Amino acid sequence: MPVVVTRPAHDAQRWVLRLRERGIEAEALPLLAIGAAPDPSALQTARAALAHYAAVMFVSANAVQGFCAGAPAWPGRTRAWAPGPGTAEALREQGVPAALLDVPAADAAQFDSENLWRAVAGQLRAGDRLLLVRGADAEGRSRGRGWLGAQLAAAGVQVDMVSAYRRALPARTGAERALAARSTTPDALWLFSSSEAAANLRQLAPDLHWGQARARPPTRGSRKRRAPRASATCANAGHPSKTWSRR
């Protein structure tokens, strides 16, 4: 049975291809759909003010794509912060010069906000402005500013936030439901990118039993601290904690 990748469709396909290149059987079963920003006016205002920010932090490749789709050319002095290589790749594809791109060190133990902060700490001064670009849930709500936002605020940096996309419950096909049903056994491994994805699985397949399934929590970025919440969500969906793999 395969590794089941639950990331949004375009991300999931990329993960599946890379896993298969390494000889790992993998299938995509997206449990999050990426939609338009909940407040297009706020997003457009942020795009127009891009040059006024000392730096812009993108939480994911989805944030890059949602923000840059209608943004002007990247300003010559604004830094672009990425927590990992996938986000950095998306920024390069959008034309952000490598000289303005900040990422964690290549040998970092984790690609996360803490290691990004090690690379950029001291770059901004009190009074500078940073734009944090992220996503919202299906109701248009965004979580708090997070660990990195707290560090910036403590340094006297003004942090503005904007949602560039919305996460929602995807439609489900018969083939995907069949894949879910086949993947409730111990030899299948589910890769969850967030607690939202785990919760969506319960909604999309409420009648399936997950007592023997294995799952791996998110380990990248500040999501590392959300793993217990994702684990609890999976337990509520029927994935018992004893089968929650942390390899």
**What would the pLDDT profile of 29-87 be if each residue is shown by its tens digit?**
999 999 999 999 999 999 999 999 999 999 999 999 999 998 999 999 999 999 999 89
- Residue 109's pLDDT is 83
Give bridge partners of residue 35 from the DSSP assignment: 166
H-helix segments, 84-210:
85-93, 113-120, 146-154, 174-182, 195-204
Q: If you write DSSP's letter for every residue of 164-193 in order, what string do you get?
A: EEEEEPPP--HHHHHHHHHT-STT-EEE-S
For residue 144, pLDDT over 70 is answered with no
- Residue 231's pLDDT is 44
Pick from 4-13, 141-150, 183-192: least confident? 141-150
Please report the domains of the chain, with CATH numbers, ordered by start residue. Answer: 3-32+170-243 (3.40.50.10090), 35-168 (3.40.50.10090)
Provide the b/e sequence for 108-147 (b: ≥16 CB within 10 Å): eeebbbbbbbeebeebbeeebbbbbbbbbeeeeeeeebbe
Phi, psi dihedrals of residue 2, rounded to the nearest 5°: -90, 170
**Per-residue tokens: 58:** 């993108």
**What would the pLDDT profile of 9-28 be if each residue is shown by its tens digit?**
888 898 899 999 999 999 99
**Per-residue tokens: 72:** 């002007």
Q: Do 135 and 60 touch, CB atoms closer than 8 A?
A: yes
Residue 221 Ramachandran class (φ > 0 left, ψ -120 to 50 alpha, else beta)? left
User: Residue for token digits 């990195």?
Assistant: 148
pTM of structure: 0.78
What is the average pLDDT value for the chain, to the nearest integer?
Answer: 84
